[in-house]
Amino acid sequence: MAANFWTSSHCKQLLDQEDVDKVPQADSDRGITLEEFRLVKIHMSFHIWRLAQQVKVRQRVIATAVTYFRRVYTRKSMTEYDPRLVAPTCLYLASKVEESTVQARLLVFYIKKMCASDEKYRFEIKDILEMEMKLLEALDYYLVVYHPYRPLLQLLQDAGITDLTQFAWGIVNDTYKMDLILIHPPYMIALACIYIASVLKDKDITLWFEELRVDMNIVKNISMEILDFYDTYKIDPQRGLPEDKIAPVMNKLPSKA
């Protein structure tokens, strides 16, 4: 698929970590700390992931949806844009952009099924369609997103370590619980994941990295961030964040349902 990240809106909109880490004023006024802000984004990234499994879309759609979600909250508050509704709507929008369309009524059905006990997740098709319009505005209608998966496959092949494909792919998947995609070019994220995978699987590709002529300092720093994430958040692979951690935060956020 022909594409050029370097002339894309995605490239032009790359942010610094401190810009991504600004808690919107309306949320700050409700007592939401930076750490809690991060927790909500992690929690809803899991929500998107679980919902996506129900409607059977591919990883690329999830990645795009999560990117939209995280980008929205660099511009809008969670107070004004209910993350419980934004998350499924991002998935809905991403499914169209990535040519894997999911019907809104199917999303509504599975949300009800998944969150039956929580009245704050009671949405109708109309809510998703209305939020879709708001999201398009919030995203300035720039919908094309570049992901590390494609450079990952190329780079693994070039390094001669395609046996690490699944392992490294899993790490890339995990980076969507973080904001890396808003901050770094996709190939740098891919390189960081390969770097981690090669160390854990004891593959010495030092010579390959030497010849790549990339700033290894940045690759190392991204790798450290990824590993810090695993160290910091005790996450259940299926359920995500512990309920006792996330529930108090979500309760601070008003619901549109």
Write the DSSP assignment of 34-87 as a string of letters.
HHHHHHHHHHHHHHHHHHHHHHT--HHHHHHHHHHHHHHTTTS-TTTS-HHHHH
Work out whether 215 is an interface residue with another protein (CB under 8 A): yes
Work out whether 170 is an interface residue with another protein (CB under 8 A): yes
Work out whether 100 is an interface residue with another protein (CB under 8 A): yes
Q: Give the burial string for 130-147 (b: 16+ CB within 10 Å, else e).
A: ebbebbeebbeeebebbb
Q: Which is nearer to another protein, 153 or 257 (CB)?
A: 153
Residue 168 CA, chain-centre distance (Å), reads 17
Query: Crossing angle of helices 186-200/216-232, nearest 10°?
Result: 70
Q: From the list 106, 125, 218, 257, which residue makes contact with another protein (rule: CB under 8 A)?
A: 218
Structure tokens at 247: 């529930």
Work out whether 113 is an interface residue with another protein (CB under 8 A): no
Q: From the list 133, 144, 200, 247, which residue makes contact with another protein (rule: CB under 8 A)?
A: 200
Q: Are 142 and 10 in contact (CB under 8 A)?
A: yes
Residues linked to residue 236 through DSSP beta bridges, in sequence order: 240
Q: Are 132 and 92 in contact (CB under 8 A)?
A: yes
Work out whether 60 is an interface residue with another protein (CB under 8 A): yes
Work out whether 155 is an interface residue with another protein (CB under 8 A): yes
Binding segment toward another protein, per CB under 8 A, in 8-16, 29-37, 121-129, 131-139: 8-16
Work out whether 142 is an interface residue with another protein (CB under 8 A): no
Q: From the list 117, 119, 234, 244, which residue makes contact with another protein (rule: CB under 8 A)?
A: 234
Cβ-based neighbour number of residue 6 at 10 Å: 9
Q: From the list 68, 81, 121, 195, which residue makes contact with another protein (rule: CB under 8 A)?
A: 195
Work out whether 102 is an interface residue with another protein (CB under 8 A): no
Work out whether 73 is an interface residue with another protein (CB under 8 A): no
Structure tokens at 19: 């810009």
Of the candidates 71, 56, 121, 64, which has an alpha carbon nearest to the alpha carbon of residue 96?
Answer: 64
Work out whether 6 is an interface residue with another protein (CB under 8 A): yes
Q: From the list 30, 212, 245, 257, which residue makes contact with another protein (rule: CB under 8 A)?
A: 212
Query: DSSP assignment, residue 76?
Result: S
Query: DSSP assignment, residue 24?
Result: P
- For binding to another protein (CB under 8 A), which residues are involved? 1-6, 11, 14, 16, 49, 52-53, 58-60, 62, 98-101, 146, 149-151, 153-155, 158, 162, 165-167, 169-171, 173-174, 184-188, 195-196, 199-200, 206-207, 209-216, 218, 220, 223-224, 227-228, 230-231, 233-235, 237
